[in-house]
Amino acid sequence: MTRHAVILGCLGTALTAEETAFFRDVRPWGFVLFKRNVESPDQVRALTAALRATVDDPAAPILIDQEGGRVQRLGPPHWRRYPPGRAYGTLTTNDPLVRREIARLGARLMAHDLHALGINVDCVPVLDVPVPGAHDIIGDRAYGETVAEVATLGRAAAEGLIAGGVLPVIKHMPGHGRSMMDSHENLPVVEASLAELEAVDFEPFRILSDMPMAMTAHVVYTAVDPRRPATTSRKAISQVIRGSIGFDGLLMSDDLSMKALGGDFESRARAALAAGCDMILHCNGRMDEMKPVVAGAKALAGKAKRRADAALARLARVPEPLDHAAAVARFEAAFEGRIAA
C-alpha cells in the first residue's frame, strides 16, 4: 500500500487510540522518537513495534537524534551517556587515526543501543562547520572547526552506525555552522559569499555525498536564495544540494514545527516538497499540526520513492560482530586519557 512522504512523532511512551487510528490511515514512511517517548528498554521496544504495526511494516524507519552531549534522547540510567561530537576531535592523542577510530567506535556503540530497541535511523553525523561568533546551537555538536576534522570524524561516525545496522542522516545540509540564531526559534540568515560557502560549509557534505539520507537546514543563504531557507528553496536544493554538493540520497526536511519557518503547516509541507525535499519531518506529535502537515504532503512516489528504497537497502540485516565489553573498555579508556599518543 502507498505510504505518505512524512515522518511523524507521537506524544507519549505508548500510542493512544487516536494516534494508532491516524497512523493506520495516513501510513507515514517513518516515525521519530524523542525523550518524551522514552522510559525503559522494554517500553521503547513495545513502542517501536506498535508504530510499525500501524503501517504493517516490520522494517519501517524509526528515527532518533542520538548524537551525544546535549542532543541525546536515550541516557542514564538505562543507556550510556555519550560525549558530544567535539570531544572526539579533542582527544589527547597525536594520532588523528585514533580520533577517527574512537568516533567510529562511539557511533558503533550507539548503534548497538539503538538496534536493540528497534530504532534503525540516527540523525547523525552533524557536518556543520562552526565559525567564531556563531550561535551555539551547533557549538560542540560539531566534530571540529575545520572541514577536514568534520568530514573525517563525521564519516567515521556514519560508518560506525552502518556497521551496527543503523542508517545515518547527515545534517544540516548545506550547512548551519554560520548561523547567528537558533532555527528552533528564529530564521537564521547567512550572508557569506558563495565562494566561502563552497569552500567551507558545503564541503563536508560534498565529501559525504554518498550517504543514504540527509536533513536540510532552515537557514537562508543570501548568495543562493535571499528569500527562502534551504528547506523551501528550489534554488538551494537543485543548485546546491543536488548540484554542487552532488547528493542523490533521500533528502528530508528538518522539523517543520520549528519557528524558523513561516506560514501554516500545510503550506510548509507543500513548500518543502515543491522545493525538492523527498520527505517531510514533523516531530512534536501534536495532532493539530500533524493533520495539516499530512494534508500538505503527498504519496511517496517517483524519485523520492527510489531514494527512500535505496536508503533502506543500505540497512544491514545483521550488524557486524561486536565484542561489546571490549568495545566499551576501549571507548572508556579513550576518554580517560589512557590512549598512547
d(CA 298, CA 10): 20
184 tagged catalytic: yes
Residue 329 CB neighbours (<10 A): 11
Catalytic residue among 42, 56, 136, 184: 184
**How far apart are the C-alpha atoms of 34 and 13, rounded to whole Å?**
10
Cβ neighbours, 10 Å, residue 22? 19
SS (HEC) of the chain: CCCEEEEECCCCCCCCHHHHHHHHHHCEEEEEECHHHCCCHHHHHHHHHHHHHHCCCCCCCEEECEEECCEECCCCCCCCCCCCHHHHHCCCCCCHHHHHHHHHHHHHHHHHHHHCCCCCEECCCECCCCCCCCCCCCHHHCCCCCHHHHHHHHHHHHHHHHHCCCEECEEEECCCCCCCCCCCCCCCEECCCHHHHHHHHCHHHHHCCCCCEEEECCCEECCCCCCCCHHHCHHHHHHHHHHHCCCCCEEEEEECCCCCCCCCHHHHHHHHHHHCCCEEEECCCCHHHHHHHHHHCCECCHHHHHHHHHHHHCCCCCCCCCCHHHHHHHHHHHCCCCCCC
d(CA 35, CA 74) in angstroms, rounded, equals: 7
Strands 250-255 and 279-282: parallel
What radius of gyration, in Å, describes the C-alpha atoms of the chain?
19
288 belongs to the catalytic site: no
Among 113, 122, 201, 254, which one carries the catalytic annotation? Answer: 254
Which residues does the annotation mark as catalytic? 184, 254
